Amino acid sequence: MGAAAEYVAQAGPGARGAGWTPRLGGSMATVEIQRPTDIDRLHEAIREELRIHIGFAGLDIEDGTLDNLAEMVTSRIDYGFNIEWAPKWITPGDPHRWHEVGNDSPSGEWHFRECLTCGRMTRHSNSDRADADYRSHTEEAHQIRHT
């Protein structure tokens, strides 16, 4: 992590999903963000599935109601099961990659990388920069040589 990096602290307890949204600023810099808890990831996955299926069904349900439904389902699962985020779609050695619309990003998108070895999660203004940072991180922190 270079001097240009910015650490963004997660919001306080009870702010489910707060770790997903980094604070604005440092558009060209590597920004480390707080890794969400496994329960926050489950809640977000449930909320997204509900949103998609409610959309397909053509139902008019407000975001607050959708949030409440996702929270109730998440709480019920959390009450009776051990939850561990284990993304089966990621090839071992690869990072967790995703991007989001970002009007404050020079490219219009933010690109994220999460190291599944140590949990380091970063945000970048473009995909090439994100991949370069991940390669650099894994070489320095995990002694992995890339060809």
Closest approach, Cβ 117 to Zn ion, in A, equals 4
Site string for Zn ion, 54-93 (x = CB under 5 A): ----------------------------------------
Number of residues that bind Zn ion (CB under 5 A): 5
118 binds Zn ion (CB under 5 A): yes
Contact with Zn ion (CB under 5 A): which of 10, 37, 117, 126? 117
**54: how many CB neighbours lie within 10 A of its CB?**
15
Beta bridge partners of 7: 32
Closest approach, Cβ 29 to Zn ion, in A, equals 18
Closest approach, Cβ 26 to Zn ion, in A, equals 20
Interacting span for Zn ion (CB under 5 A) from 13-21, 39-47, 79-87, 119-127? 119-127
Contact with Zn ion (CB under 5 A): which of 33, 46, 115, 121? 115
Cα separation, 113 vs 29, in Å, equals 14
Cα separation, 122 vs 126, in Å, equals 12
Question: Whose Cβ is closer to Zn ion: residue 107's or residue 136's?
Answer: 136
Strands (DSSP E) along 18-139, which ranges?
31-33, 96-101, 109-114, 121-124
Closest approach, Cβ 137 to Zn ion, in A, equals 6
Cα separation, 121 vs 37, in Å, equals 12
> Under the phi-then-psi rule, with left for phi > 0, alpha for psi from -120 to 50, and beta for the rest, what region is 26?
left
If residue 134 lies in a helix (H) or strand (E), which one and from where to where?
helix 127-142
Q: Which residues contact Zn ion (rule: CB under 5 A)?
A: 115, 117-118, 120, 141
